[in-house]
């Protein structure tokens, strides 16, 4: 935590006064006042749907505020589009990188700022300028590397360089660490601190309170479209911020009794899975999950966890190996996800937007996704609309899904409530084995608590649960046993008491794994998967 | 954060504005050739709706467009762009004609009709099956294959009509005229009850078959398990896979239903009007179906309304071309093209402005107690 660098007399980098923004009847931002000092790192935290993204979109010119004023560097401005924001020196690094994968770093940075109709002059100029920026901020990236060959950590660096190249003095980062290892995240924080030393202002939007504590000077907490508090980070605590976010005290630790493991419910042996390009993504994985235990798989996204869980669920075909459910070997040649559900295997997919839900559907329609052939929801080939809606209303009630409207389009629910729709559907079918991927990705603190409690309840009811998450805190809080996956292999097993550092090193593939010892390179430059086809494993947009 | 326009704006006002703009631009075209656009518009509307005869023709054309519109819509619900309704309708015509030729001399029309429906739909479905199979199993894009199958259908029919189905001694490539059992009743009597004189128009019982198909399509898409699979597939193939919906099977069956509906279209011209099979029974209705489905938002009610609109353009356009010699048949096609352009391809052109307008209206009207809702 750095101390406050700017003098109070200097005009603030940004001053927002009375900003309000509504979408229909939803008031996304209400009368927001926010002052961001020059050369500071200002964190904005809040639950999903609290209005953080809307506020930043107003600042970046994606939306127009209904009322209120924006001052940048002491001057009142209007920002009708993102080009105006760029002209004012505001840069944005999006959660999902906006990079052209088959362009080089330099080409991506020039994109939209080519300078002339012909590229040749611009390239040389851009290269020189980029070199200077890289030197000033210690942000080294090979300008001629293709984006698709770069690990996510470096791709993010390119995004930051892109903003700086456009002359950004104020940098907005939206959930920047979602795809990074702890080591990469730490490196990012060093970059941000360096930027601050050079006089840049950084606005960090995140839901990870640890990051707020680690790197920000000031923190603003948003709740229900309003800023409920802005305090110097040094004068607050994780618990205090969390409480302000949800308006009450939350349980960050999960209360659970020791597990009472029963018989093995799910048994995976020598499982190997290749992706569409024939690159092995899961290599010889074996694991057992017993009734009444939660086995967590820790790992940086893209190290085979997704392929593992999707293969067990029947979405992908295994190349080699076998899976036994309740002691019976599964024949994936004949089973599909629907018949596996009948066998007692439920699956909460990692990506609720692309897999777990059909966003344009009404909520009640999504509440039967995968179960639409169930006799309970109709007669013969027909669906019973009343049965489906009654079922949805019941789940809405049980899981406190808000707004409690089963006819609402699913896309209009917040992330946490969307996740509850999926969880309600999969958990209430009383499965024997539950596969859960990223249960709380993009979910607000209040919903996290609820979801964690439900998962532990499922365990205590004797279900075997396989949990995949990139959130180490979550893995550690929920799991009875922790397996670490790196580069398609399980590189270690630890108990629930394993430390974050220990797991983090295993996840990065640089700690002593159970079987082999790697040399330890500079952690900052190890971008997740040394040696092993990084382009394959780390394209963030990659979908199966 | 998605826009939330009230349904009446979405489904009524927006299409109406698009249509209005299309007609304004069409009017400019009419002015450009030196005619009075208001007079032209009146001639068109009067030609389509001003007489019993006009209404009869308008609804006859609309019948074709309802079938092809439904055909395109079912495929779109499954995420498939079937532009092969044209060929599927033509091949469906073969099925209908064979049923009529085979049974028409022996049994009355009401016994021929079910067979003709099964064969017309079956032949169309078979013609939809092939692209569906190629898409689902071989990954050949359905847009490419369906448009090629249109050409194959045309060539196939040409060969069949010239070399096989043409009766001896007849010059044109067409079958013999069906016996009495191959003639669907006209709707003359029915509409005459309402005082409209639609004698001498081809409007026939197929119109009701089309309306029944609208109901069946609605039930299929929104009230059956398979319709649920189709919609899931169309909106999110990855979610469909997760749900255990078999993609290949769903795609193939959806294409067969789509082809079957297109095939049924041929009832209207073949059994209802010409009473023989010719090469030009479809007359572009398969392609108009794309515009109809687009404008009708893939919903049967919208499709009926859009089909009537295009029936009006066909019939009124023909009258206009007849009464205003400077406006040629091609000009009518231009006007139809403009309607498709504004109502179909550019249907979202005015959406941002309208959304902004309604949000502004809404905000002004927001009540203080509603503010708590977030």
pLDDT at A333 over 80: yes
Tokens of A500: 């974050």
For the purposes of burial, counting CB atoms within 10 Å of the CB of A228, is it exposed (0-12), middle (13-18) or buried (19 or more)? middle
Neighbours of A143 (CB within 10 A): 19
Residues 342-371 of A with CB under 8 A from B: 347, 349, 351, 354-361, 365, 368-370
- A147 DSSP assignment: G
Residue whose pair of structure tokens reads 């499922």 in the numeric block: A458
**Interface touch B4/A24, C-beta < 8 Å:** yes
Percent of chain B with pLDDT over 90: 65
Name every chain B residue with its beta carbon within 8 A of the beta carbon of A55: none
Dmax (CA) for chain A in angstroms is: 75
Q: Within chain A, which residue ranges are assigned CATH 3.40.50.300? A: 14-246, 251-344+432-544
Q: What is the pTM of this model?
A: 0.76
pLDDT for the residue numbered B364: 67
Q: Which residues of B touch A313 (CB under 8 A)?
A: 242
Most confident of A187-201, B47-61, B148-162, B176-190: B148-162
CATH fold label, A251-344+432-544? Rossmann fold (3.40.50)
Tens of pLDDT, residue by residue over A271-327, are 999 887 677 889 999 999 999 999 999 887 778 888 999 999 999 999 999 999 999
- Domain A14-246: give its CATH superfamily: P-loop containing nucleotide triphosphate hydrolases (3.40.50.300)
Could you tell me the residue ranges of all domains in chain B?
58-311
Tell me the ipTM for this assembly: 0.86
Question: For testing the chain B interface, which of A23, A24, A364 should be mutated: the one with the most B CBs within 10 Å?
Answer: A24
Residue B50 has pLDDT above 90, yes or no: no
User: If we measure between CA atoms, which residue out of A316, A300, A296, A306 comes closest to residue A542?
Assistant: A306
Chosen for mutation from A20, A25, A332, A405 (greatest number of chain B CBs closer than 10 Å) is: A25
| Tokens at A11, concatenated | 């005009």
- Residue A1: pLDDT band by 50, 70, 90 thresholds? very low
Q: How far is B231 from chain A (nearest CA, A)?
A: 9
Distance, CA of A381 to CA of A378 (rounded, Å): 8
B187-196 pLDDT, tens per residue?
Answer: 877 767 666 6
Instruction: Determine the pLDDT at residue A472.
Output: 79
Q: Is A27 on the interface with B (CB under 8 A)?
A: yes
Domain made up of B58-311: CATH architecture: Orthogonal Bundle (1.10)
CB contact, 8 Å: B363 with chain A? yes
Give A296's contacts (C-beta < 8 A, 6+ positions apart).
A467, A468, A469, A474, A475, A476, A478, A479, A481, A482, A483
Q: Are B95 and B227 in contact (CB under 8 A)?
A: no
Does residue A406 surpass a pLDDT of 90? yes
């Amino acid at each position: 935590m750095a101390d406050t660098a700017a003098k109070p007399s200097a005009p603030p980098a940004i001053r927002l006064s009375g900003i309000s923004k509504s979408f229909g009847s939803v008031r996304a931002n209400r009368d927001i006042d926010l002052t961001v000092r020059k050369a500071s790192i200002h964190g904005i935290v809040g639950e999903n749907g609290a209005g953080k993204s809307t506020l930043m979109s107003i600042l970046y010119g994606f939306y127009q505020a209904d009322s209120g004023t924006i001052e940048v560097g002491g001057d009142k401005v209007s920002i009708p589009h993102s080009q105006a924001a760029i002209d004012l020196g505001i840069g944005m690094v999006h959660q999902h990188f906006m990079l052209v994968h088959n362009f080089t770093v330099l080409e991506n940075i020039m994109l939209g700022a080519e300078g002339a109709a012909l590229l040749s002059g611009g390239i040389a100029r851009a290269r020189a300028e980029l070199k200077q920026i890289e030197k000033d901020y210690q942000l080294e990236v090979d300008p001629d590397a293709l984006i698709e060959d770069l690990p996510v950590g470096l791709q993010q660096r390119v995004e930051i360089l892109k903003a700086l190249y456009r002359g950004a003095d104020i940098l907005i980062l939206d959930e920047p660490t979602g795809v990074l290892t702890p080591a990469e995240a730490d490196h990012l924080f060093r970059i941000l601190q360096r930027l601050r030393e050079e006089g840049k202002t950084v606005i960090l939007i995140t839901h990870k309170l640890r990051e707020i504590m680690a790197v920000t000077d000031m923190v603003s907490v948003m709740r229900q479209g309003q800023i409920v508090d802005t305090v110097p980070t040094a004068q607050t605590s994780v618990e205090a911020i969390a409480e302000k976010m949800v308006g009450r005290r939350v349980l960050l630790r999960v209360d659970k009794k020791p597990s009472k493991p029963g018989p093995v419910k799910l048994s995976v042996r020598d499982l190997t899975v290749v992706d569409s390009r024939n690159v092995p993504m899961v290599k010889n994985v074996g694991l057992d999950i017993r009734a009444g235990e939660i086995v967590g798989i820790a790992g940086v996204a893209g190290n085979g966890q997704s392929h593992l869980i999707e293969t067990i669920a029947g979405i992908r075909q295994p190349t080699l190996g076998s899976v036994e459910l309740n002691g019976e070997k599964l024949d994936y040649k004949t089973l599909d996800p629907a018949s596996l559900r009948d066998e007692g295997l439920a699956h909460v997919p990692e990506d609720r937007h692309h897999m777990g839900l059909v966003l344009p559907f009404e909520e009640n329609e999504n509440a039967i996704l995968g179960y639409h052939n169930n006799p309970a929801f109709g007669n013969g080939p027909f669906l019973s609309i009343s049965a489906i809606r009654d079922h949805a209303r019941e789940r809405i009630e049980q899981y406190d899904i808000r707004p409690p409207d089963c006819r609402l389009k699913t896309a209009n629910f917040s992330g946490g409530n969307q996740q509850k729709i999926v969880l309600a559907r999969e958990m209430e079918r009383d499965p024997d084995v539950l596969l859960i991927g990223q249960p709380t990705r993009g979910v607000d603190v209040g919903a996290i608590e609820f979801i964690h409690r439900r998962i532990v309840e499922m365990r205590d009811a004797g279900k075997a649960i396989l949990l995949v998450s990139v959130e180490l805190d979550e893995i550690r809080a929920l799991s009875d046993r922790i397996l670490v996956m790196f580069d398609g292999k399980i590189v270690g097993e630890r108990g629930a008491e394993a430390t974050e550092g220990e797991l983090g090193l295993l996840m990065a593939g640089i700690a002593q794994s159970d079987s082999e010892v790697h040399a330890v390179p500079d952690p900052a430059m190890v971008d997740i998967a040394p040696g092993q086809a990084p382009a394959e494993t780390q394209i963030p947009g990659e979908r199966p | 954060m998605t826009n939330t326009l009230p349904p009446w704006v979405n489904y009524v006002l927006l299409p109406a504005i698009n249509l209005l703009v299309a007609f304004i631009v069409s009017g400019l075209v009419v002015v450009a050739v030196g005619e009075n656009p208001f007079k032209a518009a009146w001639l068109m509307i009067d030609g389509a709706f001003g007489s019993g005869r006009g209404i009869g023709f308008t609804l006859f054309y609309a019948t074709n467009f309802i079938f092809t519109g439904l055909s395109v819509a079912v495929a779109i619900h499954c995420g498939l762009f079937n532009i092969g309704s044209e060929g599927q309708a033509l091949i469906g015509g073969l099925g209908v004609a064979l049923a009529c030729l085979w049974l028409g001399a022996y049994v009355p029309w009401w016994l021929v009709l079910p067979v003709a429906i099964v064969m017309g739909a079956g032949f169309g479905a078979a013609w939809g099956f092939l692209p569906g199979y190629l898409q689902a199993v071989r990954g050949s894009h359905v847009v490419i294959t369906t448009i090629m199958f249109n050409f194959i259908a045309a060539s196939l029919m040409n060969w069949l009509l010239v070399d096989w189905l043409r009766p001896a001694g007849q010059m044109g490539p067409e079958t013999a005229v069906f016996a009495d059992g191959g003639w669907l009743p006209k709707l003359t009597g029915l509409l005459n009850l309402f005082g409209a004189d639609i004698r001498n128009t081809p409007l026939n019982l197929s119109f009701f078959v089309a309306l029944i198909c609208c109901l069946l399509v609605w039930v299929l898409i929104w009230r059956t398990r398979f319709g649920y699979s189709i919609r899931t597939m169309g909106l999110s193939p990855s979610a469909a896979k997760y749900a255990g919906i078999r993609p290949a099977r769903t795609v193939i069956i959806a294409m067969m239903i789509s082809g079957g509906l297109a095939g049924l279209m041929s009832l209207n011209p073949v059994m209802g009007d010409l009473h023989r099979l010719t090469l030009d029974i479809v007359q572009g209705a398969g392609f108009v179906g794309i515009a109809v489905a687009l404008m009708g938002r893939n919903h049967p009610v919208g499709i009926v309304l859009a089909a009537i609109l295009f029936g009006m353009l066909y019939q009124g356009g023909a009258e206009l071309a007849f009464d205003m010699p400077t406006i040629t048949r091609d000009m009518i096609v231009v006007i139809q093209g403009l309607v498709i352009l504004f109502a179909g391809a550019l249907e979202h052109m005015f959406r941002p402005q309208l959304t902004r307008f309604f949000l502004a209206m809404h905000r002004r009207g927001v009540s203080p107690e509603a503010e708590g809702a977030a």
